[in-house]
Amino acid sequence: MNLARNLTFAAASSLLALAGCASTAPGAGNAAQRQLASSAQILDDNARVLAARADGETAPGFALDAHELEQHAYDLRVAARSGRASEGELRADFDEVTRSYQALRDDVQRLDTQQAHADLALVNDAYHGVASRMASVPASANAPGS
């Protein structure tokens, strides 16, 4: 009788432990992951505003780079918010954001207008906020199945 009770207790305990793991999204309890998702949301929002403004710009390269930044910021936000992206996936998405941001920054330096600098200012702090958060996301926080 004790054996049956012990087996039942062990099985119930195992099921409860598994249920606890399944009910929490990977990384959902991780503060660094939540902060990255929040910063990525801000960058995505600001990049959307920038892309809308850039449609009225006379420099087509600037508008193209603004829309690329918008798309890459969106991709990063979705990945960060999901809590399921691996560190490698987040880093790859952030690398795309960085390439787009640097291209946009180069456009602004080439154009050197007050409007171009104001447009870059829309995403500058948000980009650096995401870069800072990326540095603080531990690898284990984003590993699938953690």
In sequence order, what DSSP letters do the residues of the chain get, joined into one string?
-HHHHHHHHHHHHHHHHHHHHHTS-TTTT-HHHHHHHHHHHHHHHHHHHHHHHHTT-S-HHHHHHHHHHHHHHHHHHHHHHHS---HHHHHHHHHHHHHHHHHHHHHHHHH--HHHHHHHHHHHHHHHHHHHHHHH--HHHHSTT-
Q: Which two tokens stand for residue 73?
A: 């910021």
pLDDT of residue 36: 94
Cβ neighbours of residue 116 under 8 Å, at least 6 residues apart? 57, 59, 62, 107, 108
How far apart CA 111 and CA 57 sit, in angstroms, is 11
Q: Which two tokens stand for residue 57?
A: 């710009």
Please list the pLDDT of the chain residue by residue as tens digits (146 residues): 554 543 343 344 443 344 444 334 444 448 888 999 999 999 999 999 999 999 887 787 899 999 999 999 999 999 999 988 999 999 999 999 999 999 999 999 999 999 899 999 999 999 999 999 998 876 544 444 43
How far CA 7 is from CA of 2, 3, 19, 42, 76, in Å, comes to 8, 6, 18, 51, 46
CATH value of 30-140 in 3.40.630.40, 3.40.50.720, 1.20.140.40, 3.40.50.2300: 1.20.140.40
Domain map of the chain by residue range?
30-140
Q: Are 86 and 95 in contact (CB under 8 A)?
A: no
